[in-house]
Amino acid sequence: MPSQLCVYDLGAEQVRLVMVTDRLIEAPNWDAGVSALIVNAEGRLFRVPLGAPALDPIETGFAQQLNNDHGISPDGRTLVISDQTETDGSCLYTLPIYGGTPQRITENTPSWWHGWSPDGETLAYTARRNGIFDIYTCSAKGGPETRLTEGFEHTDGPDYTPNGKWIWFNGQRDGIMNLWRMRTDGAKLQQMTGDAAQNWFPHPSPDGKWVLYVAYAPGTEGHPRDLPVELRLMPAGGGPYQTLVSLTGGQGTINVPCWSPDSKRFAFVQTV
């Protein structure tokens, strides 16, 4: 199915179509320079200039089996990718923003990146250890990992608030996937949604006002692609949500941080 790369403007309450491609593209990040988006497709990473949209390859060296869990450092100088070319499961690597040789960060696999602390010091990621998916952190330079969650059937999608005080994530209990937040050491766990939807991939806005996420229909298992889903917005402190876009998507729509630096827009992918 063709992929559409789109931008939603909060002020205008409108969707802008950036490009259409027959390739499966996923998980847009907003370049810190505001002039481009970064997506993955077919195991590779691409930059899409907003002024002249096209899939411009980013050199990732040996890493040729990237999934859709990639992102940009707070200072805009570094990319983080999740790749399994040389390992038996996904592993985190960093490389220069315009491409280069990846440097391995996580020792244990599989690990899937999702968040970078605002001070640039720490990476947050989902990892499967002993068959359990939990949220972990480690230094952005590598080293020992710290497990932050327990007691969930499945967790995913950790992303930091811009003040660095909270990590939002989605966690499943009793078969229902809700949004949660916790302090960066795992303390003060709070459930932030409680409706019947299966809620995934929360992304706090850079101005600290909102959290964007994707909602599947009740009873959906996992986060498959090509299903009817909604992009929802809720206040950063919790409260009623509003549905901004109803679309066909899911997996790859907003798996990673996708806000523009000014919080006025966000990018997403849908299928048609």
Q: How much is the average pLDDT of 102-123?
A: 98
Could you tell me how far CA 6 lies from the centroid of its own chain?
16
d(CA 182, CA 153): 17
Q: Per-domain residue ranges for the chain?
A: 3-271
pLDDT digits (tens, 9 = 90+) for 44-59: 999 999 999 999 999 9
pLDDT tens-digit readout, 131-148? 999 999 999 999 999 999
Residue recorded with tokens 């038996």 = 88
d(CA 51, CA 133): 39
Percent of residues, the chain, with pLDDT higher than 90: 98
pLDDT at 197: 98
- Residue 252 belongs to what H/E stretch? none
* CA-to-CA dists, residue 25 to 5, 68, 256, angstroms: 8, 9, 13
CA within 13 Å, CB half, 79: 30
pLDDT tens digits, one per residue of 187-241: 999 999 999 999 999 999 999 999 999 999 999 999 999 999 999 999 999 999 9
Split at pLDDT 50, 70, 90, the class of 272 is confident
Please report which confidence band the pLDDT of residue 1 belongs to, taking 50, 70 and 90 as the band edges.
confident
Which CATH architecture is the domain 3-271 placed in? Answer: 6 Propeller (2.120)
Residue 32 has pLDDT above 90, yes or no: no
Sheet holding 154-160, edge to edge: 154-160, 166-173, 176-183, 190-191
